[in-house]
Structure 1
């Protein structure tokens, strides 16, 4: 990977120019007070120093990154060799640029003696080198921390997706086995009717398999699965025993939700009420968008009291599955309420309405 990503090259160059201008402005005042006549000289001095330093800092940053993870003794040994090289390259590059410019403009230039330059510039370079090492180390640590956070988020996202896929896979076997049990109860009494139910079941299973591949879809698509299922149950029990009511607002139809979310609750409504009733039972499915939230309700109530014990307050496997899927997908942003309502039961699901 490049030491300086493309998106940071222009800001880095701008930073060097700003620093060089600030130092040049400061040096210019001293230069004028000392009687200097060529006002461009302080700018040449500072820009040549900052320009060479800017290039060397990139190499130093790469070196600090390569040394990360090595024993500290080895790092110190490498830096002990790199610091003099940094200073020599800085001095050679800086004064090389100055000599070139002075020659191009035809002005004599007489820098200090080499020993003086090495002592004076070397001391400043040592301070700069150590400072840049600490800054570079902080940058590498910040990048590593950000990479760890991104990797952790990716792992969490993949884990959540895997969990959602596992929970979605539980829906189909649960639904399939219960539906086959219902069909088996009529296959010896009315073979054509059982055959018709099996064909309807096959069509419904093909749709659910396609839905599982999408992970999530719209309320409109979810109801397109619920309606055939309820039609299948009406064929099983008869329209005189099972009354179906579906009410969905236009705004809610475009909201997205996990695929196959409503099949299990609707199945529970049939299993826990219609199958145990002798009279007529109404199963109602509603979907409405309220204030940016999607509100789904599945309720069932009969004309006569249920003769057996009331269903599990937690809603059984299907609703436990629903709660886990919503918690994995939305966290605290989704809520589930399930309990008795009049002569039946009512499930209310609320989640963000994302289109």
Structure 2
């Protein structure tokens, strides 16, 4: 049984037992019709054959595995040698068990002469051997296909993880360059304010670096990064111009999502409204859990519709940051995630829906 994995041993023995019982029940009927007086004899005949065949099948399966990929002439030569060996071992083992049992119970047993046995049993063994070879080949092919599928799945996972890592690496430089540009606009007007902004930026970058190493964290951790960024932007534009609203219930905060997922949408919301309007702009981040789904919304709304400068046409997909977001969600969740981006009354709105795992 060493050729059989431990988890398959009990089912294999159970299968052989069922086959032996079915064959014995059929043989018992013929035995009684022929006037037999010892009902245990058909069970001995069939189970002795099934037991030996059960062991030999393991050897056939191992042989088929060893012959995989070999040239056909070598395979045919191996089978030409294995078939007589299979039949010889089957006959010797089967009749050896029968003679032993009959001897123990003190009953005489007189099998047919050897030439007759070789012809009668050899023909059946040839059919059995061919059948077992075909079944074994199918099993090996199925195992190889399953191994290829597992390897392909592993390669896909590694590719997806590599892609996620590449996309995540794009988040921080994009966010950093835009933030530094914001700080540079006030550094000559208010040095103390610019210094304060740089200190806040350094603290925020330390948090984002730590988050990036985790690759995935809870929505609560993500909001802990978004809030300092929004505070930094409020310090830049003034709280009278930038109003921040964050709403997320406890169930939503427990959901896990890719790290740094919301920074780009929040920054995009500020870039599209706060930096281009004189009036007050409200930036909202909302999250709610609906069963096993997490719904996230990032939106902005300007109180005064008149822009400080002629408005630029919004990019259809939200620019680099949101293209990155779409690709990250696609790589992580596939079709299970959905992203909608477009204008709403007085501003822009980004809605995301993705699976919630706690």
The equivalent residue for 1:346 is 349
Q: In 2, distance between residues paired with 1:259 and 1:179?
A: 19
The equivalent residue for 1:13 is 13
The equivalent residue for 2:293 is 293
Higher deviation after alignment, 202-211 or 185-194: 185-194
The residue correspondences of 1:1-355 to structure 2 (distance < 5 A) are: 3-304=3-304, 305-306=306-307, 307=309, 308-355=311-358
Quote how far apart the aligned CAs of 1:58 are. Answer: 0.4
Q: TM-score, normalised by structure 1?
A: 0.96
Per-residue CA shift, 1:137-193, capped at 9, x if unaligned? 111111111111111111111111111111111101111111122122223333332
Per-residue CA shift, 1:232-254, capped at 9, x if unaligned? 11111111121111111222111
Q: TM-score, normalised by structure 2?
A: 0.95
Q: In 2, distance between residues paired with 1:346 and 1:117?
A: 85
Partner SS for 1:213: helix
Higher deviation after alignment, 295-304 or 191-200: 191-200
Q: In 1, distance between residues paired with 2:268 and 2:29?
A: 86
Partner SS for 2:340: strand
Q: In 2, distance between residues paired with 1:96 and 1:293?
A: 67
Q: In 1, distance between residues paired with 2:9 and 2:212?
A: 46
Higher deviation after alignment, 285-294 or 20-29: 285-294
Q: In 1, distance between residues paired with 2:12 and 2:69?
A: 27
Partner SS for 2:214: coil
Q: In 2, distance between residues paired with 1:136 and 1:83?
A: 15
Quote how far apart the aligned CAs of 1:291 are. Answer: 4.4
Per-residue CA shift, 1:4-48, capped at 9, x if unaligned? 221111111001011111111111122222222222111111111
Higher deviation after alignment, 115-124 or 276-285: 276-285
Higher deviation after alignment, 156-165 or 194-203: 194-203
Runs of at least 5 residues in structure 1 that lack an aligned partner in the other structure: none
RMSD: 1.4
Q: In 1, distance between residues paired with 2:271 and 2:121?
A: 87
Q: In 1, distance between residues paired with 2:33 and 2:293?
A: 71
Q: In 2, distance between residues paired with 1:36 and 1:314?
A: 86
